[in-house]
Structure 1
Amino acid sequence: MSQLNDAEVAINAAEAGAVVVRQKYGAALSRYDKSPTDFATEADLEAERAILEVIRAARPDDAVIGEEYGATGQAARTWLVDPLCGTLNFAAETPLFSVNVALPGAGVAAVAQPLTGEVFWTDGTTANVRRNGTDSPAQPSATSHLVDVDIDAPPGSDFLGPQLLTDEKFRATFAGRVSSTTLTLAWVALGRRAAYVTNGALLNSVHFTAGTTLCQSAGCIVTDFRGRPLHTGPGLVAAANRATHQQLLDLIAPHVS
């Protein structure tokens, strides 16, 4: 086993994936369809291979679940990897995407933003942003009043996003934004967003676990739609502080059965 701690392994793995994504950004890439509205690219596949190489070298006995290559190994410690969270944005040359690596049992996570060179990370006790090798503590803040509401959902599902975005009280209180990656959760931890709202099956998700772990370590309020612990009920509300969180719960309540 490497002498690096788990957080450094996560950071190194996320940075390895980010190098690939950054190099591929804007290039003509082959696509591999998953559904009519979802696909992977060469960048997704190559970035995941780069991430897996780092994890396997440092933690050869650990298991990994990746977005593209699935599960490898069986162990109590399982890494969750999304090599390019926001592939649709990436393919459209819209710079809202991230590289996610998490080790949920240890409370460890790293989210790399390839085009800025930033890595948002936590060792399970504190949350930080690394820029040019220098770490600064995450400082959640609701002063922007910017709330990202995820409107992505499987066809036919009963989804909150459209209802909340058209709610008059929500629009009078918050400036709504729409994003599609766990990058937004990292922004909540850093104070760049006041909150993030989504629903769906999020337990052990390669898309969301790194971001929710960051928010929790930064001291954000992270619950389901009813204010209960995350994963005990529907949805996710991650907010910079309790006042903002409660405002959102009050607005969401009429839309949750």
Structure 2
Amino acid sequence: MGVIPNDSTTSDARLAVAAASAGAEVVRARYGSRLARFDKGAGDFATDADLAAERAILAVLRAQRPDDAVTAEESGHSGATGASRRWLVDPLCGTLNYAVGTMLVAVNVALSSGGETTAAASADPFSGEVFFTDGETAYVRSGGTDVVLAPSPDSRLVDVNLDPPFPNAPGFTATGLLADPGFAARFRPRVVSTTLAVAWVAAGRRAAYVTDGHLDGSVHFAAGIALCRAAGCVVTGLRGQPLHTGVGGLVAAADAETHAALLELIRDRVG
């Protein structure tokens, strides 16, 4: 684990791929085993697979970037508080899926530098794919080959996050969006329950992704958002405002037309 691939992308992007791949290897190896659960409150929990994957990721990052800070889902903040470079680590996004034997999870690693996400990777432990970006172009690595990601609205599939919190309820709820006749007339809903679906928007496998919530600095969403932006998707908050401002939330769409249609459906629901 942790060998940085020799490719033409920037060194930080290579490191993100290596770190996410190290975590994915642990997640894949532990799948189907007896998992210890650690309660985090409000119905959330981690497993020993989450913890082991995070340790593997941090080992790669610390070996190559010992001066960088890290914010990790399970172990929290480490490194200098005011560091200009901070890695955001989500070792197993979709823990509940994983714990019940569902192979829909992601391992997310992103680098925030100077207020921007400059490198990121989102690994699918079971397909072997790693979606990654150097902050300018987004790729998927599969079988040792890198392919540039190309968003597409053609599937009409919109993944919607049904997990709380819902800060804009009761005005906006994901279930209310799905029940809107205008949504059913144009789109088909999907609920994957992992941010792997955000990477799928960048890859053309979803037309869009919608979630409520305040996502600034989120270890769950940073990698997927960076992938969508680098791939050329339209990425805003729930009211079409710049991300991480106003009412919050995320609308990541493959193209402007899909984005506009979703904003029209959301507009009257957000206060």
Normalising by the smaller structure, the TM-score range is: over 0.9
Which of the residues 258, 262, 265 maps onto 1:244? Answer: 258
Question: Within 1, Cα distance between the matches of 2:107 and 2:35?
Answer: 18
- Correspondence list, 1:217-256, <5 A: 217-233=230-246, 234-256=248-270
1:179 offset after TM fit, Å? 2.2
2: CA distance, partners of 1:201 / 1:44: 23
Could you list the per-position Cα deviations for residues 111-170 of structure 1 after superposition, in whole angstroms to 9, with x for gaps in the alignment?
000000000000011000000211000000000000011111138871520110111110
Change in CA separation of 1:157 and 1:223 when aligned onto 2, cut-off 3 Å: closer
1:79 is matched with which residue?
87
SS of the equivalent of 1:90 reads: helix
Partner of 2:145: 134
The answer on whether the counterparts of 2:151 and 2:233 sit within 8 Å (CA) in structure 1 is yes
Does residue 187 in structure 1 map to residue 200 in structure 2? yes
Does structure 1 residue 123 correspond to structure 2 residue 129? Answer: no
Question: Which residue of the other structure, out of 85, 98, 102, is the alignment partner of 1:90?
Answer: 98
State the TM-score, normalizing by the size of structure 1: 0.96
Partner Cα separation in structure 2 for residue 85 and residue 30 of structure 1 = 17
How far did 1:243 drift?
Answer: 0.3
For residues 77-106 of structure 1, the C-alpha deviation after alignment (integer angstroms, 9 at most, x for no partner) is 000000000100010111111000000225
CA distance in 1, matches of 2:166, 2:41: 11
How far 1:24 moved relative to its partner? 0.6
3-state DSSP class of the match of 2:268? helix
Counterpart in the other structure of 1:165: 178
In the alignment, the residues of structure 2 paired with residue 132 and residue 147 of structure 1 have an alpha-carbon distance, to the nearest angstrom, of 28
> Is 1:6 equivalent to 2:12 in the alignment?
yes
Alignment of 1:93-104 (within 5 A): 93-104=101-112
Query: Is the CA contact (8 Å cut-off) linking 2:121 and 2:133 kept in structure 1?
Result: yes
Question: Is the CA contact (8 Å cut-off) linking 1:104 and 1:213 kept in structure 2?
Answer: no
Report the equivalent of 2:73: 67
Q: Identity of aligned pairs, percent?
A: 59
* Alpha carbons 1:223, 1:236 under 8 Å: kept: yes
Number of aligned residue pairs: 256
Gaps of 5+ in 1: none
1:143 aligns with 2:154: yes
1:107 is paired with a residue whose SS is strand
Pair 156,137 (structure 1): closer, same or farther in 2 beyond 3 Å: closer
Instruction: Please tell me whether the aligned partners of residues 160 and 198 of structure 1 are also in contact (alpha carbons under 8 angstroms).
Output: no
- Work out whether residues 81 and 206 of structure 1, in 8 Å CA contact, stay in contact via their aligned partners in 2: yes
The amino acid across from 2:245 in the alignment is T
Q: What is the rounded CA distance, in whole Å, between the counterparts of 2:67 and 2:118 in structure 1?
A: 18
Question: Which amino acid in 1 is paired with 2:220?
Answer: H
Q: Comparing 116-125 with 225-234, which one deviates more in the overlay? A: 225-234
1:173-231 per-position Cα deviation (integer Å, ceiling 9, x unaligned): 10011122210110000000000000111001000010000000000000011112111
**Aligned partners of 1:160 and 1:248: how far apart in 2?**
13
CA RMSD of the aligned region, Å?
1.5
Amino acid at match of 2:141: R
